[in-house]
Structure 1
Amino acid sequence: MDRRRVVITGLGAITPVGLTAPESWQAVKDGVCGVAPITQFDTEGMKVSLAAEVKGFVPEDHLGKPEAKRMGRFTQFAVVCAREAMADSGLVTEAEDLDRCGVIISSGIGGLSITEAEHDRGLARGWDRVSPFYIPTAISNMAAGQVAIDTGFRGMCTCPVTACAGGTNAVGDAFHYVRDGYADVMLCGGTEAAVTPLAIGGFTSMKALSQATDPARASIPFDAERTGFVLGEGAGVLVLEELEHALKRGAHIYAEIVGYGVTCDAYHMTAPRPDGSGGAKAMSMAIADAGIAAEEVDYINAHGTSTHLNDAGETAAVKTVFGDHARKLAMSSTKSMTGHMLGAAGAVEAIFTAMTLKDGYLPATIHYSVPDPECDLDVVPNVGRSADVRYALSNSLGFGGHNGSVLLKKWEA
């Protein structure tokens, strides 16, 4: 089977730093921090009081009241982002073979806030009195399902649930699906809305979250003083198209996807292998999938969670893959601005990576203050910069040992 070329023609995003893809990217270029005190519930008596919440999102501005009411927050994010990405792409559904258009949208946790609320309702009123909409609004695949319903796309519709790697798996799987001829158009990405008491409490008890009270010292990837990640929320959706399909309709192209690698550490429930070998293999696979040399990669949007094990292990993985070239490439973490958006992270970061290639601009790792000898690569500290970037990787590493890496190339007609 011939390998077809796959390009990105539409972007949609809702993030802690912006309510659209352009707004979010501009905020990242400006080094805006989305971390702030939690507003969605009272954190009194809890060790963690900061998160990277989406700010100013009003579902009814985008969805009808009945429609919004029958969607969890994570699904609302996904549907609104998908509409933005579709509008940005210029695709007209009436002109498409909808059997060759599909959806892959990840969510790591789904409607956790709905589960919490319905559990309280069941305790108070009896279990047979929980909402009939509880199951169909809370299950993780419903964001993908609702996007398919909204667009009419009848091809493959699925939801990778691979924790923090889910968004990258969605993009990578969609890339291969189009490349190998099974579809012409795919909407792909990830969504998450898990800033809830149970999620914050659960991550806190396993000592994964930063307990900092200063937003400027909470999500600090690669910094020696990092103490854990900051939970974020939001969504990112991309339109992927087969190249000739896109050119035929005169679509604008952000970047080309050229490689995808996916592995498993098979090591521990939450901790990555200390040597980063699983992540290294995923990067190497993506590079081999593209048929390029490792030395051609100019930039990596790192998983960069601000936990000790992740940042050190990812740095070790990059050194394994790139050798001496690791000192020449740049590797920053936009989670310093967005926090960790779990199943949405890889999708949003794929968008940022595409814009890095399009604009020739490296986003910074903000609030970087204390160097760590274990994380001694160019993390683009504090201030972004212009650069000629032709190939860029986006990495995601998830609980359960899931590793994913997508390789993007600057669009060259």
Structure 2
Amino acid sequence: MPDELIIIRGSGSTSALGAGASVYADAAPAFSNQLLGASALSVGALPASVEAELAALRKEHSAYRQLDRTVLLALLAARQATAQAGWKSNNQGNKLAVSIGSSRGATGRLEQFYEEFLEEGSVPPATSPLTTLGNVASWVAFDAGTTSGATLSHSSTCSSALQALGNAMAWLRAGMADRFLAGGTEAPLTAFTLAQMHALGIYSPFEAPDSPCRPGAGRPSTFVLGEGAAVFALEKISRKQLEEGNYTSASLSNTYILEAVGFGFEAIGSKTGLSPEGHHFQKAMRQALQQAPCAPSDIDAIVLHSPGTPAGDASERRAITAVFGEEMPALTSNKWLIGHTLGASAALSLHYALHILATQSWPAPGFATDLTPAPFRPVRRILINAAGFGGNAASAIVSAVQI
């Protein structure tokens, strides 16, 4: 194992299940119906408790009132991660850098400004700065109190969050930052974005609460759009520091090792599809295993990308079989609970993996699927998959700290 370790000192999340670390305890699908024209589509919308937090956050600072929902979700998750890490907020100086992924960025504000332009022929001066992708990470950095640390935003469709985490790992290993807030955020539940997903022909025909998102269940396609964010507080320490430092099991109860983030790419004719063999998945998983380094047999569970589309689910399964053989790890997913949150999905999958490592369990879906029950053996190391339009994929490996 490498001498230098990238550890997750704290984490935070918001999703349809709520906010914080305990949302997966006794979890059930958290979907509601949203009208798109005359049709009712299932969505993974935030619960009232998180909406109240967003409303309060908007009132904290005059500038926050105009921020997109995507940015505010990232702020809430980053605050949780900072608090859990024990970092003093607003006292970060140049030690803290920020790396945030989002597929769509400021979706709601961009659509709002465009509607105003069509009606009035003009837009407010703040339109451009409030709708650029860099607007996400820069506000997270401002809220966290960093003065000159890097602020990086990533958009690589649905693997955006793992792109952000991989970049943070590289910066930390290179000594270019001491701490990182890294993750993903997305607030895509607008009529226009829902219409785009529906036009692809992949949207679930099932309404809430009838388990509308069903990864690994085959046909029909059961893609469901959701919103949320997850952010992680990352630090670099040496194994010697871990073994000889003043650490106890209690002090490391919320600490995990981010062992690797691997990437895979393939150029294919369809920019919305993927190869049947999932070559980009295979490349990402193999790179992550090599980077860790660990053998396929060292992986106890995989948090699947698995959006509930038959072709996408089958491609990922074939890729896993190619890498792991017939003795595959246990397979699980959180999308049947919260939907597909696009650029935030990989970060929320990592947050789900931390819950599994902490509790050694995961909820069982109430529909026929190839997702597996939690294994009886200990789950010590988990691989997380993500993939997006354009032939890109990413895989992360996370494990619990052992002292």
Equivalence for 1:334: 334
Deviation at 1:24, TM superposition (A): 2.4
- Provide the residue aligned with 1:34 in structure 2: 30
Counterpart residue number, 2:115 = 120
Distance 1:367 1:138, change over 3 A: farther
Runs of 4+ residues deviating >4 angstroms: 93-96, 244-251, 384-387
Q: Distance in 2 between matches of 1:157 and 1:143?
A: 9
Q: How does 1:242-321 map to 2 (within 5 A)?
A: 242-244=236-238, 252=252, 253-267=254-268, 268-321=270-323
Counterpart-to-counterpart distance in 2, 1:276 and 1:363: 27
Partner of 1:131: 124
CA distance in 1, matches of 2:160, 2:64: 24
SS at match of 2:119: helix
Contact 2:162/2:261 (<8 A) preserved: no
Deviation for aligned residue 1:401:
1.1
Deviation, structure 1 residue 121? 1.4
Task: For 1:7-406, list aligned pairs within 5 A.
Answer: 7-18=7-18, 20-26=19-25, 30-38=26-34, 42-46=35-39, 49-56=41-48, 57-58=51-52, 59-63=54-58, 64=60, 66-92=62-88, 98-127=93-122, 130-153=123-146, 154-244=148-238, 252=252, 253-267=254-268, 268-326=270-328, 329-364=329-364, 366-369=365-368, 371=369, 379-380=371-372, 387-406=377-396
Deviation at 1:193, TM superposition (A): 0.5
- CA separation in 1, counterparts of 2:74 and 2:313? 29
TM-score (normalizing by structure 2)? 0.90
Report if aligned partners of 2:382, 2:397 keep a CA contact under 8 Å in 1. yes
Q: Which runs of 5+ in 1 are unaligned?
A: none
CA distance in 2, matches of 1:150, 1:254: 23
Count of residue pairs brought into register by the alignment: 389
- Contact 2:70/2:185, CA 8 A, preserved across alignment: yes
Deviation at 1:385, TM superposition (A): 6.6
- Deviation, 1:22, is 1.8
Mapped contact 1:51–1:339 kept (Cα < 8 A): yes
How far did 1:73 drift?
A: 0.4
Gaps of 5+ in 2: none
What do the CA deviations read for 1:157-180 (whole angstroms, capped 9, x no partner)? 211101110112112221232233
* 8 A contact 2:33–2:208 mirrored in 1: no
C-alpha contact 1:106 1:159 (8 A) present in aligned 2? yes
Secondary structure of the 2:36 match is coil
Over 3 Å counting, the alpha-carbon distance change for 1:94 and 1:54 in structure 2 is: closer
Is contact 1:360–1:387 with CA below 8 Å preserved after alignment?
no
Q: Tell me the distance in 2 between the aligned counterparts of 1:214 and 1:144.
A: 33
d(CA) in 1 for partners of 2:228 and 2:6?
25
Contact persistence 1:36–1:215 (CA under 8 A)? yes
Cα-to-partner distance string for 1:306-342 (whole Å, 9 max, x where unaligned): 001111011001100001321xx20111101010000
CA contact (8 A) 2:90 2:144 kept: no
Equivalent pair of 1:221/1:335 in contact (CA under 8 Å): yes
The residue matched to 1:216 in structure 2 has which SS? Answer: coil
- Mapped partners of 1:92, 1:213: distance in 2: 44
Q: Classify the secondary structure of the residue corresponding to 2:261.
A: strand
Deviations 1:350-396 (CA, angstroms, capped at 9, x unpaired):
111122122222344x2322x5xxxx5xx125xx5765111110110
Question: 1:261, 1:405 within 8 Å by CA — same for their partners in 2?
Answer: yes
Name the CA distance, whole Å, in 1 between partners of 2:180 and 2:90.
Answer: 16
Offset of residue 184 of structure 1: 1.9
Deviations 1:61-81 (A, max 9, x none): 234262331210000111111
SS of 1:164 mapped into structure 2: coil
Change (3 A) 1:272 1:91: same
The answer (yes or no) to whether the contact 1:13–1:24 under 8 Å persists in 2 is no
Distance 1:340 1:380 in 2: 20
**How far off is 1:244 after superposition?**
5.0
Cα RMSD after superposing both structures = 2.2
Q: 1:220 to 1:104 in 2, by over 3 A?
A: same
